[in-house]
Structure 1
Amino acid sequence: MTIKNLSLILLAALSFIWGGCDNDDTLGDTYADIIMLVSETTVYEPVWGCDTPVEHMLVKEQSATEWQPLVMGSIEGFEYVQGHAYELKVRKTTLANPPQDGASYTYRLLEVISDTQPDTPVSPEEWPEEAKFKFKMVQLNPFMNLDTPLAAPFDLLTFRIFDHQDEYTPLGYPEFLQYYDSIVMSTPVMPDTYCVYQKKTDESSTSEKFTSQWSSYFFEKNDFPIILKGYKDGAVKYAFQMKQIMRERDFLGIDWKDGGITLANPQSHVVYCVLDTRYEFLLTDTQLRNNIPFVKIKVAFASDLTDAENLKRQENGLRWLLEKHLGYKTFETIADFKTLPEDASIVETYGNETTRAALLHFKDNDFHEECYYIIAEPK
């Protein structure tokens, strides 16, 4: 082999190596093939570098309990059709070197397992006006008695259903009910439904149950859609949708600066969500300890579970709440807190710019049974 030919071979090899360096960011990427669900409902969320909110799909992996927003077009090879719900098999790649201000994952469609358009109501032109209904929030009871028009998690919201002329029937049955077998409230971001109206008919009788006004707390900190669907013979005949505006304060519904403090006889409030019945929380009034405000949060006891099951449910529910609303764990100690009881045993700590919170575990003793609860205080 001549020196000239050897030089050409070496140059080609170096060119190959140098060229490969351009793709060095892909080294260390890992992937897994997963099942992903895509909701029939979308939301508009802000994105970095854009002044106006952008439409997002609502997606969740098969093992997840909550829907997450994903920008349209984020799944390579998948085209979303409005109103359709999907079950997909996708390849989820975890990037070893994600771009700055970019996503840590990429998705590529492998298979469309199912494509359905559930609960599609008839065209409004085909349904008589007197059969239509609407609903809206009519009262907001904020935690800490704040004067605000915007709801936060752990505020109590009250809704009413109206007819097409905005008439409210507090007693009896409005005329539009005759067109339905049931009217059901739901949202794609929560797992349960709430039945506002139901009619049951058997061979000898017909019974009706109607709630014209109902209340609920919501555990969400972002805006979400609420849908009221009217069913007849198993099909959706009419649907009305509203957007519930949610704005988290310092933590849940707590405002450390402007919120009220209870100096005597603090009460515990049962915080429930009719669209997410996995947990009920017990939230105390804001109190003072060492001249610092704090709240205590527990998971309500479930009578159908054993003591051991309730204990595990407490831990799981409180950790879910902290991860959802405070995000990442911190590394604070008992010395960092000013309102913890003397016998506190910290399991985990969480925080944001204004709040620190500790998940506490108390062993069984002469004063109380074994339990978990949260103490949250301002920073």
Structure 2
Amino acid sequence: MTLKNLSFVLLTALCFIWVGCDNDDTPGDTYVDIIMQVSEKTVYEPVWGSDTPVEHMLVKEQSATEWQPLVMGGIEGFEYVQGHAYELKVRKTTLANPPQDGANYIYQLLEIISDTQPDTPVGPEEWPEEAKFKLKMVQLKPFMDLDTPLAAPFDFLTFRIYDHQDEYTPLGYPAFLQYYDSIVMSTPVMPDTYCVYQKKTNGDNTSEKFTSQWSSCFFEKNDFPIILKGYKNGEVKYASQIRQIMRERDFLGIDWKNGGVVLANPQTNAIYCVLDTRYEFLLTDIQQRNNTPFVKIKVAADINFTDTENLKRQENGLRWLLEKHLGYRTFETAADFKTLPEDASVVETYGNDTTRAALLYFAGDDFHEECYYIIAEPK
């Protein structure tokens, strides 16, 4: 074969290789633009690889007949507002090579077609002035002995209901109650409600139950609305709303630098939320071990559950609290902590710039039951 012919053969082979690479038949990601409904309701379900329930949106594609859960933030560019219902135009991308621990699809917001806000009560001009009421937060008791006007998670807040003239009735029944069958406290960011007034009629007998002042802690670290709705015949007739300001300290309501340490007879504080009754937390006063302050957090047992079920609730509730307030897990070990007891096993660790926390398991002994709990300390 001449040199000229050999050059031609080599050039032809290279061309085939080039063309073959340029026409790779390997499938890639594909997408389609769809219309998606987003419900005003949410659900709590575990995500892949975890038993801890987290909040999900409920979504439905235009061709679907049933609602499906989608994790919060699952639509890129879309910020869900609690209690709102939406119609969206989104780009649904089918991944050619989805991650093993992820979904086959990703969604990107293209347009908000409609945004339906929660039902609102009748306008002020349609309701008598004397029927109106006001919700106010009147007292803040920080978890630690701090002088602050801003609430933090696990602080104790007290609320009152006033009439339209800002008058408070500590005893008896204020006049505006005659316009309602019930008055209920709620917020779109929490699953439960709290009834401050209820009137029941059974034949000729009518009974009333009214709470003019009540208290609660909250597990939220961001500002959120609190709404007091007055109902008559099943319809909202009037509502008073405030925005509760929340400012997380180093961790929950704990300020490692400015808060005090209890050296003798530490108390255990019951931390409950009237609008989120899934868990009640037991929080010790700040104590000290190895010259380092620390706090211990447990989940209170529920008499409606068995010991095994309560143990699982402890684990789930504490993990939910850590993920909510400290974010992702860290890779610290028991050696990184200064206040861990010797008889507990480290399940997971979490942390932020100021705090490290460990979810611990204690197998139990002759004097103490098997349990999960948290130890948190400053970095």
Q: Considering the TM-score relative to the shorter chain, is it more than 0.5?
A: yes
How many Å separate the matches in 2 of 1:84 and 1:323?
Answer: 25
Deviation at 1:28, TM superposition (A): 6.4
Q: Give, in angstroms, the shift of residue 334 of structure 1.
A: 0.6
Q: 1:200 and 1:38, CA in 2 relative to 1: closer, same or farther beyond 3 A?
A: closer
- Deviation of 1:343 after TM superposition, in Å, equals 1.1
Distance, in Å, in 2 between the alignment partners of 1:116 and 1:179 is 28
How far off its partner does 1:202 sit? 1.3
Alpha-carbon distance in 2 for matches of 1:144, 1:230: 35
> What is the letter of the counterpart of residue 288 of structure 1?
Q
Query: Is the CA contact 1:282–1:298 (under 8 Å) kept in the aligned structure 2?
Result: yes
Secondary structure in 1 matching 2:237: strand
Give the aligned partner of residue 316 of structure 2.
316
Letter aligned with residue 364 of structure 1: G
Once residues 89 and 370 of structure 1 are traced to their aligned partners in structure 2, the CA distance between those partners, rounded to angstroms, is 51
Superimposed CA distance per residue, residues 9-37 of structure 1 (whole angstroms, 9 cap, x where no aligned partner): x9xx98x969x9xxxxx966999x99843
CA apart distance, 1:61: 2.3
Q: Secondary structure at the match of 2:144?
A: helix
Distance 1:199 1:360 in 2: 46
The structure 2 residue matched to 1:74, chosen from 75, 78, 81, is 78
Root-mean-square deviation (Å) = 3.9
CA distance in 2 between counterparts of 1:334 and 1:279 reads 27
Q: In the alignment, residue 329 of structure 1 is paired with which amino acid?
A: R
- Aligned equivalents of 1:140 and 1:39: distance in 2? 31
Tell me how far apart the structure 1 counterparts of residues 256 and 82 of structure 2 sit (CA, whole Å).
42
Does structure 1 retain, via aligned residues, the 8 Å contact 2:262–2:287?
A: yes
Equivalence for 2:187: 187
Would the aligned equivalents of 2:75 and 2:108 in 1 still touch at CA under 8 Å? no
Is 1:61 paired with 2:54?
A: no
Q: In the alignment, what sits opposite 2:108?
A: 107
1:166-181, aligned counterparts within 5 Å? 166-181=166-181
Question: What is the distance in 2 between the residues matched to 1:215 and 1:302?
Answer: 21
Query: Which of residues 25, 36, 39 is equivalent to 1:37?
Result: 39
Task: Tell me the distance in 2 between the aligned counterparts of 1:297 and 1:328.
Answer: 19
**Whole-angstrom CA distance in 1 between matches of 2:192 and 2:329:** 29
CA–CA distance in structure 1, aligned partners of residues 89 and 297 of structure 2 = 39
SS in 2 for 1:122: coil
2:297 — aligned with what?
Answer: 297
- 1:1-379 to 2 correspondence within 5 Å? 36-38=38-40, 60-62=56-58, 74=78, 84-86=84-86, 106-108=107-109, 118-379=118-379
Structure 1 residues 296 and 27, CA, compared in 2 at 3 Å: closer, same or farther?
A: farther
- TM-score, normalised to structure 1, is 0.77
Q: Is the 8 A contact 1:152 1:249 kept in 2?
A: yes
CA distance in 1, matches of 2:268, 2:218: 17
Partner secondary structure for residue 160 of structure 1: strand
SS at 2:150 equivalent = coil
Question: Given that residues 75 and 109 in structure 2 are in contact (C-alpha distance below 8 angstroms), is that contact kept between their aligned partners in structure 1?
Answer: no
Q: 1:221 to 1:335 in 2, by over 3 A?
A: same
Seen in structure 2, the aligned counterparts of structure 1 residues 362 and 187 have a Cα distance that, compared at 3 Å, is same
Say if 1:17 and 1:232 are closer, same or farther in 2 by CA, change over 3 A: farther
CA distance in 2, matches of 1:328, 1:337: 18
Comparing 115-124 with 157-166, which one deviates more in the overlay?
Answer: 115-124
Q: Which whole-Å CA distance do the structure 2 matches of 1:368 and 1:29 have between them? A: 57
**Given the superposition, is the C-alpha separation of residues 376 and 65 from structure 1 closer, same or farther in structure 2, using an over 3 Å criterion?**
farther
Kept after mapping to 2: 8 A contact 1:66/1:190 = no
Residues 235, 253 of structure 1: alpha-carbon distance in 2 compared, 3 angstrom cutoff: same
Aligned residue number for residue 101 of structure 2: none
Question: Aligned partners of 1:66, 1:186: CA distance in 2, in Å?
Answer: 23
Q: How many residues are aligned here? A: 332
Deviations 1:56-89 (A, max 9, x none): xxx9424879977989x738xxxx9998535889
Give, in angstroms, the shift of residue 211 of structure 1: 0.5
Using the aligned pairs only, state the percent identity. Answer: 74
- Please tell me whether the aligned partners of residues 183 and 198 of structure 1 are also in contact (alpha carbons under 8 angstroms): yes
CA distance in 1, matches of 2:378, 2:311: 27
**Structure 1 pair 190/70, CA: closer, same or farther in 2 (3 Å)?**
farther
| C-alpha contact (below 8 Å) 1:74/1:106 kept by paired residues | no
TM-score of the pair, normalised by structure 2: 0.77
Using a 3 Å threshold, how does the CA distance of structure 1 residues 207 and 68 change in structure 2: closer, same or farther? Answer: farther
Residue-by-residue CA offset, 1:77-121 (whole Å, 9 max, x unaligned): xxx99985358897765999xxxxxxx964358999x99765431
- Asked whether the 8 Å contact 2:194–2:274 carries over to 1, the reply is yes
Q: Point out where structure 1 has 5 or more consecutive residues left out of the alignment.
A: 1-9, 21-25, 41-58, 97-103
| Alignment-derived partner of residue 46 in structure 1 | none
Q: Secondary structure at the match of 1:145?
A: coil
Cα–Cα, structure 1 residues 81 and 276, in superposed 2: closer, same or farther, change >3 Å? closer
